[in-house]
Amino acid sequence: MDRFYDSLFSREYKSDIAIKYQWRFKKYQNKLFTFLNHDDVPWNNNNAEHAIKGFAVYRNITDGLFTENGIKQYLTLFSIYQTCTYKGVDFLRFMLSRETDIDQFCEHF
């Protein structure tokens, strides 16, 4: 990574697009390769993009007509659903259990 940045920043680019990308790499250099220094940081944004899809579907179904309270309730349930999915827990079973802690629920089942 250091060699990449050294090489990138030592060059003088001519095209506007190359200059723009060089500037963007410089601006975000402390954030772009965070995953190299931390085991728990993914190299891509797939989890976030996947989570956003659920909201996009909801927005399409409701045709953009929802209240602030309705969206808060949906996002709360969707967050629980996503957590259950990532932990391999059956969402309906968790909800029916009336448990409030997914990890504690997992210990019992």
What's phi and psi for 12, nearest 5 deg? -110, 105
- How far apart CA 89 and CA 80 sit, in angstroms, is 10
Residue by residue, pLDDT tens for the chain (109 residues) are 889 999 999 999 999 999 999 999 999 998 888 888 888 778 887 877 877 787 788 788 887 777 888 888 988 998 899 889 889 999 999 999 999 999 989 887 7
Q: Where are the domains of the chain?
A: 2-36, 46-108
pTM: 0.54
- How far apart CA 90 and CA 6 sit, in angstroms, is 49
